Structure 1
Amino acid sequence: MTTTVAYGHTTAVPVHFDDLDALGVLHNSRYAVMLERAMINWWAERGVSFADGRPTTPDAFSVVREYAITFHAPVRGTGDIAVHFWLEHLGTTSADYRFRFTSADNQIVYAEGRRVNIRLDPATMRPSPWTEPGRELAAQLLRSA
């Protein structure tokens, strides 16, 4: 499932039995993992990933600076849910993502939040500007695009 959205990208992520907590709902820690996988897949499909333990482009070397999530409704069981993510703002060294987890039909919003990534220089581990090719790819996710 890939749903057409007005901005950003939406993809299906599976909820497995071992993602559930003792109450039979999606464990809160799994949301960060599922978001990470959805975002990594999007970037990897465009050549920004890791191979042989090394980044394929300088823009693959980034870290999460902030992560916040608000839960609205529990995911009660296994099956596909949707992850919609987009860039609210692309700074010189930062990427301000927003996201929402919804039912596959987009009728229920399970959770929504914000994640900020910072591109680092691998030699200094200090913030470093996104490359021009990386900025061009990221523009596809911008809400204002």
Structure 2
Amino acid sequence: MTTALTYGDVMHIPVHFDDLDAMGMLHNSRYAVLVERAISLWWAERGVSFSGGRPTTPDAFNVVREYAITFHRPVRGTGDIIVHFWLDKIGTTSADYRFRVTSTDGETVFAEGRRVNVRLSPSTMRPEPWTDEARAIAATILRD
């Protein structure tokens, strides 16, 4: 990404042939998958993930509550794209992400949207507060 990044973070994510629709464009349903991969990979690099089917930290046990996306231009063909994401807000139990799917130079915005995750208790499946550790990590991508 050539544009200076002043908030959030970016992950380079590959678009594979099986991500494309019959017209050779990234299928609309795959955008959510690519955003999921980018955010999950970012957290995993910071020790928050799953291993052997179990969360490595309590904060890894979370679900998507809301997802909204606006499509601007199609991604045509395979190759890398960038998912630029940040936290707009982190509440007691929720995390409100914003994201943009762009070309690798950051000049073309293919799509942008919002995703809200909620941390759950594995035993009750009810919302549970984020840990102080997760809040400290999340603060690094919180937009002012």
Does the 8 Å CA contact 2:2/2:105 hold for their aligned counterparts?
no
SS at match of 1:141: coil
Which residue identity lines up with residue 42 of structure 1 in the other structure?
W
Deviation string 1:66-114 (CA, Å, 9 cap, x unpaired) is: 0000000001111111100000000000000000000111111000000
SS at match of 1:136: helix
> Aligned Cα RMSD in Å?
1.3
Aligned pairs (5 A) from 1:1-145: 5-144=5-144
SS at match of 1:5: coil
Q: Against the structure 1 CA distance between its residues 3 and 63, is the aligned structure 2 distance closer, same or farther, given a 3 Å change threshold?
A: farther
Does the 8 Å CA contact 1:4/1:10 hold for their aligned counterparts?
no
Separation (CA, whole Å) in 2 of partners of 1:120 and 1:47: 18
Separation (CA, whole Å) in 2 of partners of 1:61 and 1:93: 11
SS at match of 1:47: coil
Gapped runs of 5+ residues in structure 1? none
Deviation string 1:96-139 (CA, Å, 9 cap, x unpaired) is: 00000001111110000000000001110000000000100010
Where do 4+ consecutive residues of structure 1 move more than 2 Å? 1-4
SS at match of 1:99: strand
TM superposition shift of 1:4: 5.5
Q: Against the structure 1 CA distance between its residues 2 and 91, is the aligned structure 2 distance closer, same or farther, given a 3 Å change threshold?
A: farther
Q: Against the structure 1 CA distance between its residues 3 and 136, is the aligned structure 2 distance closer, same or farther, given a 3 Å change threshold?
A: farther
Deviation string 1:51-78 (CA, Å, 9 cap, x unpaired) is: 1111111000000000000000001111
Separation (CA, whole Å) in 2 of partners of 1:2 and 1:110: 16
Question: Percentage identity across aligned positions?
Answer: 72
